[in-house]
Amino acid sequence: MNYQALFEQIKLKKSFLCVGLDTDEKKIPEHLLKEEDPIFEFNKAIVDATAHLVVAYKPNIAFYECKGAKGWLSLEKTVCYIKENYPEVFLIADAKRGDIGNTSKMYASAFLENMPFDSITVAPYMGEDSVTPFLSYKDKWVILLALTSNKGAFDFQFFQEGEQKLFEKVLEKSQEWGSQDNMMYVVGATKAEMLSDIRKIAPNHFLLVPGVGAQGGSLQEVAKYGMNDHCGLLVNSSRGIIYADSTPKFAEVAREKALELQEEMADLMDAKGIL
């Protein structure tokens, strides 16, 4: 999916919501555990209930690979189901990969060729040759970790040399490798006030913003400091939506939670003159 197609979806659905499929067997409703693949059945129900309200889904790969071969199968079934039934939805592999070049090439092939993901999150720490193998696929995206939502972000990402913080260096340097047409950045909603500085370095790039919902980030603040004329945001909520209810009505309640965020997003885009 290219930049314009993503923007069209955002306008059409009046939404820049990404639902995180961080599916944990210990947290899903009990009645699903009798199914052959409870994780897939849970994801399918969440997706069917929310697809009209979202522009992206983001399975976090850790929740699948911890189950071994069975987990990878649940992941593959989930993403193939989404691509077949909701081909307009942008798919993010939250895998946080990155290694020496020939190894990154294998990671890229796994997620962008052998599975129908549109994008993958990549850690920038190993530099250019660890990132560029992910950039060689047409209409696929690297989503580079820039300023993360967790407390540990303060350990390294704010390290300063001269005027520039490390996460600012990541934003600036990586623009030599990719463009706004194939690279996005992860910026945590918990650090929304940093978004206006980030927009000075990356005014047009899409930002994937996790941390709304369970981590307490504010959608209003994210939009205030981070929204650009093309919206430029994919805001993720995982636990706040998918685990909002643990009864057989879980998918319905997830839909209601997603709708609340989508309606807020429509108002924010309207106020910005995007719709």
Ligand X SMILES: O=c1ccn([C@@H]2O[C@H](COP(=O)(O)O)[C@@H](O)[C@H]2O)c(=O)[nH]1
Separation between Cα atoms, residue 50 and residue 44, nearest integer Å = 10
Q: 79 to 138, contacts with ligand X by CB under 6 A? A: 94
Separation between Cα atoms, residue 19 and residue 234, nearest integer Å = 10
Segment interacting with ligand X, rule: CB under 6 A, options 46-54, 155-163, 212-220, 264-272 = 212-220
Is 257 a binding residue for ligand X by CB under 6 A? The answer is no
Determine the distance from the C-alpha atom of residue 94 to the mean position of all C-alpha atoms in its chain, rounded to a whole number: 7
Segment interacting with ligand X, rule: CB under 6 A, options 10-18, 147-155, 169-177, 261-269 = 147-155
Nearest residue (CB) to ligand X, 157 versus 274: 157
Residue 42 in contact with residue 238, Cβ under 8 Å? no
Is 23 a binding residue for ligand X by CB under 6 A? The answer is no
Could you say which DSSP state residue 97 is in?
E
SS3 assignment, position 147: strand
CB of residue 273 to ligand X, shortest distance in Å: 29
Counting residues that bind ligand X (by CB under 6 A) gives 19
Q: Which helix (H) or strand (E) holds 201?
A: helix 195-201
- With CB under 6 A as the contact rule, the residue among 9, 43, 78, 149 that binds ligand X is 149
Segment interacting with ligand X, rule: CB under 6 A, options 133-141, 142-150, 199-207, 267-275 = 142-150
Tokens 């913003």 correspond to what residue? Answer: 209
Convert residues 35-64 into a mask of x (bound to ligand X by CB under 6 A) and - (unbound).
Answer: -------------------------x----
User: Which residues have C-beta within 8 Å of that of residue 183, sequence separation ≥ 6?
Assistant: 135, 141, 142, 143, 144, 174, 175, 177, 205
For the record, the structure tokens of 192 come out as: 């929304």
Q: What is the 3-state secondary structure (H, E, C) of 208-232?
A: EEECECCCCECHHHHHHHHCECCEC
Separation between Cα atoms, residue 162 and residue 208, nearest integer Å = 27
Please provide residue 81's backbone torsions phi and psi, each rounded to the nearest 5 degrees: -60, -45
CB of residue 62 to ligand X, shortest distance in Å: 7
- With CB under 6 A as the contact rule, the residue among 133, 178, 213, 232 that binds ligand X is 213
Q: Does residue 27 carry a catalytic annotation?
A: no
Separation between Cα atoms, residue 240 and residue 189, nearest integer Å = 14
- With CB under 6 A as the contact rule, the residue among 188, 199, 205, 223 that binds ligand X is 188
The catalytic residue among 11, 44, 67, 96 is 96
Determine the distance from the C-alpha atom of residue 174 to the mean position of all C-alpha atoms in its chain, rounded to a whole number: 19
- With CB under 6 A as the contact rule, the residue among 73, 110, 123, 214 that binds ligand X is 214
CB of residue 93 to ligand X, shortest distance in Å: 11
Q: What angle do CA 76, 78, 84 make, to 5 degrees?
A: 100
- With CB under 6 A as the contact rule, the residue among 15, 43, 74, 237 that binds ligand X is 237
Nearest residue (CB) to ligand X, 115 versus 147: 147
Which spans of this chain sit near ligand X (rule: CB under 6 A)? Answer: 20, 22, 60, 94, 148-150, 186, 188, 210-211, 213-215, 236-240
Point out the residues that are catalytic.
Answer: 96
